[in-house]
Structure 1
Amino acid sequence: MSRTVQRVVQQHFSALADARTLPPHWYRAANKLSRCRTAALGGHVQSCPNGHVERVWYNSCRHRSCP
């Protein structure tokens, strides 16, 4: 299983937030990073002209900490 920033935030941020008081910008960043490149932020479909191949590309959160 690969570790990504998104997966770490999704799995461990709530425990960190429960353990201490965090600044509001941390919550905003964690929310953006956990939703990055998912259907929650929308996306678009790219396909070949003949309709053989389609691929869904999800939008980035565009947060400055996003890898």
Structure 2
Amino acid sequence: MSGTTPGARIVVRYRIEGMMTDALGLLSSVDDTNCVVETKRGPVEIALADIALAKAVPPAPEPRRPRSESR
């Protein structure tokens, strides 16, 4: 997690119960043992020892406009 500052949009792949999962969102905080990622479903606290990969990602795309009903 070195080089990544709070507020950056990141994706983190980490271990849970014998498998891997991802967290995508804004890095809220990081210390010597844990980080917190603010995802759409809420904050996720991740032990740094469980992280397999973490990287910065570009901002989320703008929401699409709804399709018009008439064709």
Question: What's the TM-score bracket when you normalise by the shorter of the two chains?
Answer: under 0.3
Q: Name the structure with the higher strand share.
A: 2
Structure 1 length as normaliser, TM-score?
A: 0.22
Q: Name the structure with the higher helix share.
A: 1
Structure 2 length as normaliser, TM-score?
A: 0.21
